Amino acid sequence: MVVIADGRYELPDELYYHKVNHVFLDVSNKTIGLDQIGFAHMKNPKEIAKLCDEKVIIGEPFAHITTENGIVTLNSPCSGLVKEFNYDALKDMENDTYTTGYILKLENIDEIDIDNLVTGSEIEQWGKHEVRSLLHDRYSFKIIEIGDSATGKTAIKVRFTDDYFKKDLRTTLGVDFGSKEVNYEYKNVDLLYTGTYEFSARINVWDAAGQAYYDKIRGIFYRDAKGGMLVYDANNPVSFKNLQKWLEELRIHISKNIPIMLLGNKKDLERKVPREEAVSFAVKNGMMFAECSAKTGDGVEEAFRKLAIEIYKREENLV
């Protein structure tokens, strides 16, 4: 199953999807329908009509759907004999388009329009591209904070999401969560891609508990993370020493290479971890680096801004 836009759209990877009109083909069940992205593009679909008889032919219309913005015509991704037309498809399309919300069931499939279909490993990249027009330059980035307990991860999250600091924040049990809507700007100085890009995003911050007894359950919260915030206490050398363990855990649970920010918290207090040592560790492991104070707020917003821009660049293939 390919999940995109932070869970809003699902594309089963065993199906075929037309590159242009978002018709799916389920070869196993011999069904044709409209995928979730295609359905989301339609404004208030009202009626579905059959445009084929006993057969469907590759590239020819088999149905149209009347919407508030006009009529959408669907072309067939394959050729074959028609067994059933589902006139009730619109009732189930929003909740279960791939099973009960299909439009056509076929007796047999004679030929597939393979040149215009995507499946398997091709689906994710295609789906992310197709969904951009639905997001209207608005993104949702899941960022997971990891690091030793008492490094101030929760305080950093609260400072970022609510611009608030409370000295006696309780230790996180399991995972804490907060979000914030942001508007950022990225200026590309590359000669081939020069330009200014403005984007809006919801930053979803997942603050994972650092205690050892949460090791077994913490892994599920890495799922679908777009960025990582690796936090240490600049006044606690042990928390810095343990960063390698946290980095290894993150890379075990997240196979793809995501942007990671190494963030030294409590910069307002006496430093016990040299900045040069932290910078060296970040460079060695391909991470960005910043320092902040959750107490004063200094550096917190900027750290999240830099990380969000790196995530955006990857989403838009600007790196």
CATH of the domain at 89: 2.40.50.100
Are residues 159 and 277 both part of a single domain? yes
Are residues 146 and 128 both part of a single domain? no
Q: 62-92 b/e with 16+ CB inside 10 Å = b? A: bbbbbeeeeebebbbbbbbebeebbeebbeb
- Domain end, chosen from 105, 133, 161, is at 133
Domain that holds residue 52: 2-133
Q: In a 3-state reduction of DSSP, which class is residue 206?
A: strand
Cα separation, 182 vs 139, whole angstroms: 10
* Tens of each residue's pLDDT in the chain, 319 residues: 998 877 788 999 999 999 988 999 999 999 999 999 999 888 789 999 999 999 999 999 999 999 886 788 899 999 999 999 999 999 989 889 999 999 999 999 999 999 999 999 999 999 988 887 666 556 788 899 999 988 999 899 989 988 888 665 554 444 567 888 899 988 876 645 556 788 888 898 988 764 454 455 556 778 788 999 999 999 999 999 999 999 998 988 886 789 999 999 999 999 999 999 999 999 999 999 999 999 999 999 999 999 999 999 888 777 6
Q: Could you give the number of structural domains in the chain?
A: 2
Q: In a 3-state reduction of DSSP, which class is residue 176?
A: strand
Residues 6+ apart with CB under 8 A from 220: none
Predicted TM-score (pTM) above 0.85: no
Are residues 170 and 118 both part of a single domain? no
- Domain end, chosen from 103, 133, 163, is at 133
Tell me which residue of 142, 179, 156 sits closest to 264, measured CA to CA.
156
Cα separation, 77 vs 34, whole angstroms: 11
Residues 6+ apart with CB under 8 A from 195: 187, 188
Are residues 70 and 112 both part of a single domain? yes
- Domain end, chosen from 102, 133, 164, is at 133
* Tokens representing residue 31 in the block: 């069904």
CATH of the domain at 167: 3.40.50.300
Cα separation, 233 vs 269, whole angstroms: 10
